[in-house]
């Protein structure tokens, strides 16, 4: 525990963040102050709050990769997407529902979640599982039971489900996979 708080203090000092730079910085500095005063419980609470703030920022950055809705369609971003990720091992996610022409489907993007890595072998070997493989740009997507799934940079899952496969593939095709692969790096 002391090592974590010390690491935060060293990191703050090393990158020279000012006291009023942003809410994350203020919260981390509050944690450090509480630690120095011997209030370990409050220091831990502040660290957890800073972590939540940073995960929220990372989620917002991931949401940028959700494709715009096709002409005549709407897109509704699920702002509660990350609530259940802690129970699935962590990471961040973004999700949107696309509706139009009497059809709808959902696109989900999960990054840095242990379950994503476990699915990697299944997606990579989709043909061996009897699933169809579709190439979308330079990426390969597994299409099975009306679900389209691809693994970007071996750590980011892109999944579309609930609609017409051809329509979902058209929308998935608009994602900038090269930039998505750089997410969080």
In the structure encoding, which two tokens stand for residue 87, read together? 């129970």
Domain around 136: 64-181
pLDDT at 83: 57
| 102 and 48 co-located in one domain | no
| 50 and 69 co-located in one domain | no
| 88 and 165 co-located in one domain | yes
| 24 and 95 co-located in one domain | no
Please count the structural domains in the chain.
Answer: 2
Q: Which residues of the chain fall short of a pLDDT of 50?
A: 1-20
pLDDT at 155: 87
In the structure encoding, which two tokens stand for residue 140, read together? 């390969």
Question: Which of 27, 46, 61 lies at the terminal end of a domain, its last residue?
Answer: 61
pLDDT at 157: 92
Does this model's pTM top 0.85? My answer is: no
| 75 and 161 co-located in one domain | yes
Question: Which of 18, 39, 61 lies at the terminal end of a domain, its last residue?
Answer: 61
| 56 and 73 co-located in one domain | no
| 48 and 125 co-located in one domain | no
CATH number at residue 173: 3.40.1000
């Amino acid at each position: 525990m002391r090592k974590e708080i010390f690491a935060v203090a060293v990191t703050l000092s090393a990158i020279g963040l000012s006291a009023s730079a942003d809410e994350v910085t203020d919260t981390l500095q509050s944690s450090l102050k509480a630690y120095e005063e011997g209030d370990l419980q409050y220091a831990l609470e502040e660290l957890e709050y800073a972590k939540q703030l940073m995960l929220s920022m990372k989620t917002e950055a991931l949401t940028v990769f959700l494709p715009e809705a096709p002409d005549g369609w709407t897109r509704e971003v699920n702002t509660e997407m990350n609530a259940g990720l802690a129970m699935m091992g962590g990471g961040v996610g973004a999700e949107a529902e696309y509706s139009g022409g009497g059809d709808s489907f959902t696109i989900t993007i999960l990054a840095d979640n242990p379950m994503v890595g476990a699915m990697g072998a299944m997606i990579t070997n989709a043909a061996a599982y009897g699933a169809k493989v579709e190439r979308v740009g330079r990426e390969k997507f597994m299409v099975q039971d009306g679900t389209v799934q691809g693994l970007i940079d071996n750590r980011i899952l892109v999944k579309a489900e609930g609609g017409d496969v051809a329509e979902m593939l058209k929308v998935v095709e608009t994602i900038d996979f090269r930039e998505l692969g750089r997410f969080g790096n």
